[in-house]
Amino acid sequence: MTDLANATTAPTAPADSAQMAPDEAPVRAPEGSERPVRLLIVGTGGMARAHAEKFGAIPGVSLVAGIDTNPERLKAFNDTHGIPQGFASVQEALAWGEFDAVTNVTPDAVHYGTTLPFLAAGKHVMCEKPLAANYAHAAEMAQAASLAGVVNMVNLTYRNVPALNEAARLVQEGAIGEVRHFEASYLQSWLTQPAWGEWSESPTWLWRLSKSHGSMGVLGDVGVHILDFATFAAGSIPTNVSCRLATFDKAEGGRIGEYVLDANDSAVMHLRLANGATGVVHASRYASGHLNDLSLRIYGTKGGLEVLGNNEKSVLRGSLGEDMLSGTWRDLPAPSVLTNYQRFIAAIRAGTPALPDFARGAALQKVLDQAVASDEARSLDMPV
Ligand SMILES: NC(=O)c1ccc[n+]([C@@H]2O[C@H](COP(=O)([O-])OP(=O)(O)OC[C@H]3O[C@@H](n4cnc5c(N)ncnc54)[C@H](O)[C@@H]3O)[C@@H](O)[C@H]2O)c1
């Protein structure tokens, strides 16, 4: 699956929607597990298309309604995906009430206000990443989800990548020994090339560049993905972060219309994990030549692993056991995995929790908040 495949209308694709590896597990559900689930989609912009296609392909799932504050976008989206109901607000949809679950694909700052009412009404919720615009809101959402006892999930899309899951499994079973060191990056270049359309002309890109529109810059947009990626594989959570952020001039007067372009474009984090490992995680929108590339290199006392991926494919490589002696790296097999979308629906049907949940989303948000605080304090080391 390519990034463009997720766009409402090419070429304005959402920045981080690629799956890296296209080999998703077959959608077929086990016999008897196709209990109907009625799904409501909140926010019908760029990334919502991926949600409509992925959820719509799961047997027994009906896309029953959409919500958007932009009526034209809502109508076009509902027409494209055959969705019968459309609402202008969460309150209208709740008054109607004929749905079981919600997927929230609104801009980052809107997640908090549009998710809490659904949780209070006992609806299962998948929410896009980052869970909220700050840790206080994310923690409140995690607590509300826990109190509601509903399935709650953050759409950290790279959990769909087989190579990442296999790397995490290998680390957990001790294949590389004790984890000591890692480096991870998420590289994009949509500010230096128009592969996904002209950033300066589309709200989809402009809100991502503006703090007052709730963006935490590249750190919150794709930094959260690579932070999850690295720490999920390492099997440990950060205890400390030190960070440097950079925001570059890109328009006259630093603004385009209502959008003040003050959110960070490059982020470099230095982390210590609870398991004692240290590593760097960085992300940029100025990585010219890289459209949407992720990499993780992780090393332990008994070997090393690499997960490398772009819009086309992902690979897992390892240097394990005897191979370490000669510095030999080999491609390793990675079994296919269910997508977040499939696991969200399966959890609703089974009445079980699903990961990554809101608590994970809040934990990541705490690292992001502390990274911003670190940057403001000249990259001071901050406890998480
Ligand atoms: N997981 C991934 O790989 C991935 C990829 C891309 C985007 N995202 C996330 O998806 C979310 C949406 O991103 P996008 O690129 O689709 O943005 P977008 O700007 O293209 O679409 C957002 C839509 O939400 C609507 N909206 C705004 N406020 C609303 C409200 N109060 N109620 C209902 N609708 C409202 C807007 O009108 C717009 O149609 C963001 O949180 C982003 O970080 C995730």
Q: What is the pLDDT of residues 14-73, one digit of tens each?
A: 445 444 443 344 444 454 468 999 999 999 999 999 999 999 999 999 999 999 999 999
* 154 and 166 share one domain: no
Nearest in space to 266 (alpha carbons), one of 196, 209, 197, 207: 209
Q: How would you classify residue 28: left for phi > 0, otherwise alpha for psi between -120 and 50, otherwise beta? A: beta
Return all residues near 207 (Cβ < 8 A) that are at least 6 apart: 107, 213, 214, 215, 259
Tell the burial category of 269 from Cβ atoms under 10 Å away from its Cβ (0-12, 13-18, 19+).
buried
Which ligand 1 atom is at minimum distance from the Cα of 73? 39
Q: Go through 162-191 and write b for each residue having 16 or more CB atoms within 10 A of its CB, e for each that does not.
A: bbbbbbbebbeeebbeebbebebbbbbbbb
- Sign of the alpha-carbon dihedral angle for 261, 262, 263, 266: positive
Residue whose CA lies nearest to ligand 1 atom number 9 = 128
CA 45 to ligand 1 center in whole angstroms: 6
CA 109 to ligand 1 center in whole angstroms: 10
Residue 331 belongs to a domain: yes
Residue 353 tokens read as 């929790």
Which ligand 1 atom is at minimum distance from the Cα of 90? 32
Which ligand 1 atom is at minimum distance from the Cα of 156? 1
CA 38 to ligand 1 center in whole angstroms: 21
* 132 and 231 share one domain: no
Distance CA 244, CA 266 (A): 8
Return all residues near 144 (Cβ < 8 A) that are at least 6 apart: 116, 119, 120
Residue 91 belongs to a domain: yes
Residue 121 belongs to a domain: yes
371: phi then psi, degrees, rounded to nearest 5: -65, -40
Substitution site in 106, 116, 205, 294 for ligand 1 pocket (most atoms within 8 Å of beta carbon): 106
Query: Which SS3 state, helix, strand or coil, does residue 129 take?
Result: coil
Distance CA 278, CA 180 (A): 6
> Does 54 sit in the ligand 1 pocket, CB within 6 Å?
no
Residue 361 belongs to a domain: no
Which ligand 1 atom is at minimum distance from the Cα of 15? 6
> Does 14 sit in the ligand 1 pocket, CB within 6 Å?
yes
Question: 53: domain CATH number?
Answer: 3.40.50.720
Return all residues near 213 (Cβ < 8 A) that are at least 6 apart: 107, 109, 206, 207, 259
133: phi then psi, degrees, rounded to nearest 5: -90, -10
Please give the tally of structural domains in the chain. 2
Segments forming the whole domain that contains residue 25: 4-158+341-356
* 69 and 167 share one domain: no
* 217 and 100 share one domain: no
126: phi then psi, degrees, rounded to nearest 5: -100, 135
* 321 and 347 share one domain: no
* 190 and 210 share one domain: yes
Return all residues near 377 (Cβ < 8 A) that are at least 6 apart: none
Residue 347 belongs to a domain: yes
> Does 93 sit in the ligand 1 pocket, CB within 6 Å?
no
Tell the burial category of 229 from Cβ atoms under 10 Å away from its Cβ (0-12, 13-18, 19+).
buried
* 121 and 225 share one domain: no
Residue 64 half-sphere exposure toward CB, CA atoms < 13 A: 17
Q: At what angle do helices 135-148 and 358-376 cross, to 10 degrees?
A: 170
* 248 and 182 share one domain: yes
Residue 244 belongs to a domain: yes
Query: Which SS3 state, helix, strand or coil, does residue 354 take?
Result: coil
Residue 131 belongs to a domain: yes
Rounded to 5°, the CA angle 215-354-283 comes to: 30
Nearest in space to 374 (alpha carbons), one of 230, 270, 224: 270
* 179 and 323 share one domain: yes
Residue 123 half-sphere exposure toward CB, CA atoms < 13 A: 27
Substitution site in 3, 12, 16, 47 for ligand 1 pocket (most atoms within 8 Å of beta carbon): 47
Annotate 138-198 with DSSP letters as a single string. Answer: HHHHHHHHHHHT--EEEE-GGGG-HHHHHHHHHHHTTTT-SEEEEEEEEEE-TTT--BTB-
* 259 and 125 share one domain: no
* 50 and 150 share one domain: yes
Q: What is the pLDDT of residues 191-209, one digit of tens each?
A: 999 988 999 999 999 999 9
Question: 286: domain CATH number?
Answer: 3.30.360.10
Residue 188 belongs to a domain: yes
Distance CA 297, CA 284 (A): 18
Residue whose CA lies nearest to ligand 1 atom number 19 = 204
* 179 and 320 share one domain: yes
Render each residue's pLDDT in the chain as its tens digit; 384 residues: 222 223 222 233 444 544 444 334 444 445 446 899 999 999 999 999 999 999 999 999 999 999 999 999 999 999 999 999 999 999 999 999 999 999 999 999 999 999 999 999 999 999 999 999 999 999 999 999 999 999 999 999 999 999 999 999 999 999 999 999 999 999 999 999 998 899 999 999 999 999 999 999 999 999 999 999 999 999 999 999 999 999 999 999 999 999 999 999 999 999 999 999 999 999 999 999 999 999 999 999 999 999 999 888 899 999 999 999 999 999 999 999 999 999 999 999 999 999 999 999 999 999 999 999 999 999 999 999
